[in-house]
Structure 1
Amino acid sequence: MKVTEENFIPLLCRKHEKALEYCMLRYGGLVKAVVHRYLGSLPQYEEECQNDVFFAVWNHIDAYDPERNPFANWIAGVARLKALDCKRKYASRMLETSWEAMEETGQPVIQAEFSAELQAVEEEFSEETQQILACLKPKDRELFLRLYIEEENMEEVSQSTGLAKPVIYNRLSRGKKRIRSLFSANRERSPRL
């Protein structure tokens, strides 16, 4: 059976290996571009991340809904999420490695290299986080930052803000709904790839 644009998704759902090969050939360039955009500062991990993307497509093709998005948009979203996961994973490893290398060699130059890369990664996350949270009111934005970014516990935040826990949970819930609605609206308006 010949794999085509029209039949590769149903074949992927049935775990047809030729359909995965077709997907890799047809959408490999897009996946590579998305991964490179997020892992440009960590090029040694790009190929591994691309493999993770296609592995995720293989395992979770049933999550794809053609009514919501074209396949190109869906796989680009998968690639983005995998690249961000990879960046987080290796950014923490870079920091650990830099400390170990400094302890073993006593060379602060290695520390400086890793610190510069890690700082670039953190700045990119920070910019993305600020863009996402920009739609919230300042007080709600502060709650998100303290609970999800700075990882403070609910008790501390409740005491320092004077807000009861149910009020905080309510604000977080409304904030999450707002973020979801804005991003799903943006996804629907974005041009097809």
Structure 2
Amino acid sequence: MKVTEDNFIPLLCRKKEKALEYCMIHYGGLVKAVIHKYLGNLPHLEEECQNDVFFAVWNHIESYQPEKNSFANWIAGVARLKALDCKRKHAVHMLETSWEAMEEQGQSATQTVCSAEFHAIEQEFSEETQQMLSCLKPKDRELFLKLYIDEENMEEVSRSTGLTKPVIYNRLSRGKKRIRNQFTQMRERSERL
């Protein structure tokens, strides 16, 4: 059976390698561009991150919902998340390495450089998070920060905000939709330019 744009997703769901190959050929450029945007200053991590994206697509294709998003948007989102995850892991590794080096050799300069790099990466995450959440109302933004940044559990958030779990889930759902719409509009504007 020939793999096409119309049948590669069902074939991926059935774990057909030709479908993954099709996906890599037709969406590899998009994945590479998204990863480069986030890891451009860490080029040695880009190829591994690309592999992670396609591995995630292979393992989680059933979570793709065509009625909510195009496949291109979905895989671009996967690539973005994998790139940010890769960048965060690299920053943590650099910080840990600098502490080990400092303990072994007493080199505070290494720690200072790595700490500065870690701080710059964390600041970039913070700015991106603020940009992403800017379309939300302040109370909804607070919920996203508590749950996804501070990693509080639902009970803690419910107690601290006085909101019931169903209300929180409803606000999160609406907020995610707003964020998706905002980024879809941004993407469409950038494509027109």
TM interval, shorter chain, is 0.7 to 0.9
CA distance in 2, matches of 1:4, 1:137: 42
Counterparts in 2 of 1:135 and 1:74: CA distance versus 1, 3 Å = closer
Q: Percent identity?
A: 66
Shift of residue 89, structure 1, vs aligned partner: 2.1
Q: Which residue of 2 aligns with 1:180?
A: 176
Alignment of 1:17-166 (within 5 A): 17-138=17-138, 141=141, 145=145, 149=149, 165=160
TM-score (normalizing by structure 2): 0.78
Shift of residue 165, structure 1, vs aligned partner: 3.4
CA distance in 2, matches of 1:73, 1:57: 13
| CA RMSD after TM alignment | 3.2
| Greater RCO structure (CA 8 Å; 6+ sep) | 1
Extract unaligned runs of 5+ from structure 1. none
Extract unaligned runs of 5+ from structure 2. none
Shift of residue 148, structure 1, vs aligned partner: 5.3
* Contact 1:154-1:165 at 8 Å conserved across structures: no
CA distance in 2, matches of 1:146, 1:175: 13
In the TM superposition, what whole-angstrom CA distance separates every residue of 1:134-169 from its partner, at most 9, and x where no partner exists?
Answer: 3445566567556754568999x99xxxx9635156
Q: Which has the larger radius of gyration?
A: 1
Shift of residue 4, structure 1, vs aligned partner: 2.4
Structure 1 letter corresponding to 2:15 = K
In the TM superposition, what whole-angstrom CA distance separates every residue of 1:18-43 from its partner, at most 9, and x where no partner exists?
Answer: 11112112111111111111122332
TM-score (normalizing by structure 1): 0.78
CA distance in 1, matches of 2:129, 2:85: 15
Counterparts in 2 of 1:71 and 1:116: CA distance versus 1, 3 Å = same
CA distance in 1, matches of 2:181, 2:58: 27
Equivalenced residue count is 188
* Contact 2:133-2:179 at 8 Å conserved across structures: no
